[in-house]
Amino acid sequence: GAVVSQHPSWVICKSGTSVKIECRSLDFQATTMFWYRQFPKQSLMLMATSNEGSKATYEQGVEKDKFLINHASLTLSTLTVTSAHPEDSSFYICSARDVGAGEYNEQFFGPGTRLTVL
Amino acid sequence: GQNIDQPTEMTATEGAIVQINCTYQTSGFNGLFWYQQHAGEAPTFLSYNVLDGLEEKGRFSSFLSRSKGYSYLLLKELQMKDSASYLCAVLDSNYQLIWGAGTKLIIKP
């Protein structure tokens, strides 16, 4: 099946710093990538949808100036959490989708990045 | 608004069968997914239904009734490794995935 990688797996940073998370589709070209956030014991919350070469579409309530998304190529999307604060501590998961990458046009998920802001 | 309901938690015994239900109300329907998510890990794809009926895949089966807005995931011959959260998600008319809160399945020996 299609493989999505995410880096780093976990990160601890000080309040006020910025953190960049990379999401790569390894064996397929992802025209669409998704960024999710998941708090403990809660379901996935979609933050934004990004299409290669265009601006990301953010969900209501997600600050686009705080969560910068760049989908510069068909295999790479990045999420930068700017001026991170303790309330931004969460599990961030990316997923990728492309016609033909899966039998059911399903999303393939990266392993997630656990962010802890001190 | 759009809504997906599934039980918060279920408990079953190793070797038994368990059925996890999901009901949905969405703006349009382009298919329903079931994903498995182990604690601290990302979700992995289990099944996809877009037509009414039962789809069987090994120990796991998924059922869909579009007229009732209802699906279930059936897990047979439960193993300890099946302990996980099971997420129901519907693809709406805009091809956006609407996620349920997930059902935490606890398997006891």
Give the pLDDT confidence score for residue A99 in this predicted structure.
64
Which one-letter amino acid corresponds to residue B36?
Answer: Q
Which of these, B27, B26, B43, lies nearest to B35 by C-alpha position? B43
Across the interface, whether the CB atoms of A44 and B43 are under 8 A apart is answered: yes
pLDDT of residue B19: 98
Q: Nearest chain A Cα to B46, which residue?
A: A106
Residues of A in contact with B43 (CB under 8 A): 44, 93, 109
Pick from A43, A93, A95: CB nearest B101: A43
Measure CB to CB from residue B99 to each of A44, A91, A109 and give the nearest one. Answer: A44
Q: Which amino acid is at B75?
A: L
Per-residue model confidence as pLDDT tens for chain A (118 residues) = 678 999 999 999 999 999 999 999 998 888 889 999 998 878 889 999 998 888 899 999 999 999 999 988 889 999 999 999 999 999 999 999 876 666 677 888 999 999 999 9
- Phi then psi for residue B79, to 5 deg, are -120, 160
What digits encode the pLDDT tens for the residues B51-81? Answer: 999 999 999 999 999 999 999 999 999 999 9
Closest CA to A37 of A106, A107, A95: A95
Q: What is the pLDDT of residues B14-52, one digit of tens each?
A: 999 999 999 999 999 999 999 999 988 888 989 999 999
Q: Does B97 lie at the interface with A, CB-CB under 8 angstroms?
A: yes
As a dihedral over the C-alpha atoms of residue B40, residue B102, residue B91, residue A31, rounded to 10 degrees, the angle is: 0
Confidence of residue B92 (pLDDT cuts 50, 70, 90): confident
pLDDT score of A103: 67
Check if A112 contacts B (Cβ < 8 Å).
yes
Please state whether A111 falls in left (phi above 0), alpha (psi between -120 and 50) or beta.
alpha
Say whether pLDDT at B1 is over 90: no
Sequence-distant (6+) residues with CB within 8 A of A71 are: A33, A50, A51, A52, A53, A54, A56, A77
Q: What is the pLDDT of residue B39?
A: 87
Q: Which of A42, A91, A94, A106 should one mutate to test binding to chain B, selecting the residue with the greatest count of B CBs within 10 A?
A: A106
CB of A109 less than 8 A from some CB of B: yes
CB contact under 8 Å between A104 and B101, yes or no, is: no
Task: Choose among B24, B44, B50: nearest CA to A107.
Answer: B44
Distance CA B29, CA B55 (A): 18
